[in-house]
Amino acid sequence: MPKKITIAIDGHAACGKSTLAKALASALNYTFIDSGAMYRAVAYFCLQNHLITEDNVVNIEQLENHLDKIHLEIKASQLIFLNGQNITDAIRTPRVANIVSQVATIKSVRNKLVALQQAMGKSGGIVMDGRDIGTVVFPNAELKIFVTASTEVRTARRLAELQAKGEQIAQDDVKKNLLQRDQLDSTRAESPLKQASDAIVLDTTELSREEQLQWALEAVALLVAN
């Protein structure tokens, strides 16, 4: 049986990381974990428990006092539960998107989620996507992919995703949110988004989903063969 490796996929918001990670995990029969969903779940918890001020600022002190009340479970690779409630769809709203990058700057939140992610991946056979997977969560991952795409393509993809779910949102607002999140994700003090020195870059701007998957499968085949 071929060796089961750890695959880390990082990159900016809406560049196709999760879609690729999901397809790759399915093709390899690996576990897929979308680590961004875990940060979104904590953001959802903040909304649910009124830990956000009127100016849309997360009350860090209160959130830290509540951290041990946050129990996350991921089932069948794709469903996320917060304290027993299935919040898989609820974490994809613009309200959550607007505060999640703030939540992801908080060190105590990151410590909690990174420990969970490392426990999920301890036996290998996992594809995890996020911002710090190749740099912090699995620095020894056998395969690290850093995904990029043009801002225009990322905006169009995220807009289509939201529209398909019935969200009414202007293209400019989607673009603004993506750029704001990129800025916060890349400049925060704690585990900022950056390409691991041993990551290989995949620009998805002009590639179909199938082409991206084939590219990644070739990278895996090369590694597993060596």
Which of 8, 31, 40, 63 touches ligand DC (CB under 6 A)? 40
DSSP E strand stretches across the chain: 6-11, 31-34, 72-75, 79-82, 85-86, 126-130, 143-148, 200-203
Q: Check binding of 144 to ligand DC (CB under 6 A).
A: no
User: Alpha carbon 116 to chain centroid distance?
Assistant: 14
- Closest by CA to 215, choosing from 9, 11, 34, 6, is 9
The 6-35 contact track toward ligand DC, x by CB under 6 A, reads -------x---------------------x
Q: Check binding of 130 to ligand DC (CB under 6 A).
A: yes
DSSP state of 67: G
The 154-193 contact track toward ligand DC, x by CB under 6 A, reads ---------------------------x---x--------
Angle (nearest 5°) at CA 87 between 188 and 15 = 45
DSSP E strand stretches across 12-141: 31-34, 72-75, 79-82, 85-86, 126-130
Contact region for ligand DC (CB under 6 A) — 36-44, 118-126, 149-157, 162-170? Answer: 36-44
Which of 30, 42, 82, 131 touches ligand DC (CB under 6 A)? 131
Residues contributing to the site for ligand DC (CB under 6 A) = 13, 35-36, 39-40, 100-101, 104, 130-133, 181, 185
